[in-house]
Structure 1
Amino acid sequence: MSHKYEGGCAHVHTHSDHDPIDNHECHCNVCKSVTGQHTTHVAFFNHGDLKVDHPEKLKRVPFNASNPDGPLEICLCTECGGVVMLDDKQKRIRVAVPNIMGYDASFPAASYHAFWDETKGYDKPNDGRPVHSGLRPDFVWPTPS
């Protein structure tokens, strides 16, 4: 069966038939250190909207090494070590990073830039998308599921 969005690795698959509730290009230092990318395309899904077929095959590690008790965990496949998703211990969101987590190139482009500030040491993005110092101002964290 085909889903609107599908990702994961050969052993653990994620999917959603719902659009992300937030889809941004992240400039935060945690994403930079975790991915090694200058910026990271990040999509938030409501926690219940992004399904995982084999949660028992996931190893969970803190997303933010400086805040190991924070809400986000990186979920790695125990068989191949692939990064499958980020999971929120509070069950508000699940996060996909399309270019790392097995999504195809048709995944919608990020609609804005998040967590940019002048201390980053590079010019403010000027690709026509809004640029914010955090998440977009109208973003509301979902109620835990």
Structure 2
Amino acid sequence: MMSKYAGGCAHVHVTTDAEPIDNHECHCNVCKAVTGQHTTHVAFFNHGDVKVDHPEKIKRVPFNAQNPNGPLEICLCTDCGAVLMLDDKVGRIRVAVPNVMGYDDAAFPKATYHAFWDETKGYPAPQDGRPVFGGLRPEFVWPAGH
């Protein structure tokens, strides 16, 4: 049976049948630095909803170089170096960046809003009709961790 969303690489498969609990276009400086993209489509899933078939083949590095002890880690394949997912050390979420992590980006639902936009970015606020917030959407509630 095929999973609804499948990413990763030839060595490590990352899958879920769940829908994202948050799905946004990110404007944060960390995503810009990590991906090299102006904005990044980011999907949060409940941690337990995302499965990894070979966790022993994952190398973990800090997501935010300015906060290396922060909760998010970039997971890389030890065989090929592919970016697999972001994992939360606290066990709340796992994060997919569809166009970077081996997913079919077209199969993902479109991001529902813009997150972490601020006027100091030096470009106009998005005008595509989706809400624009300075952080995550106000009604987002972090899931419980372990």
Q: TM-score, normalised by structure 2?
A: 0.98
| CA deviation after TM superposition for structure 1 residue 125, in Å | 0.1
Gaps of 5+ in 2: none
Look up the SS of the partner of 2:139 in the other structure.
coil
Is the 2:92–2:143 Cα contact (8 Å) retained in structure 1? yes
| CA deviation after TM superposition for structure 1 residue 2, in Å | 0.3
Look up the SS of the partner of 1:85 in the other structure.
strand
State the partner residue of 2:67.
Answer: 67
Counterparts of 1:141 and 1:118 in 2: how far apart (Å)?
26
State the partner residue of 2:11.
Answer: 11
Output aligned runs, 1:100-119, within 5 Å: 100-104=100-104, 105-119=106-120
Gaps of 5+ in 1: none
1:72 maps to amino acid: L
Asked if 1:131 corresponds to 2:132, the answer is yes
Is the 2:24–2:42 Cα contact (8 Å) retained in structure 1? yes
Percent of aligned positions that are identical: 79
Backbone CA RMSD of aligned residues: 0.6
Q: Count residues in correspondence.
A: 145
Look up the SS of the partner of 1:30 in the other structure.
helix
Output aligned runs, 1:14-33, within 5 Å: 14-33=14-33
Runs of 4+ in 1 over 4 A off after TM superposition: none
Counterparts of 1:3 and 1:78 in 2: how far apart (Å)?
23
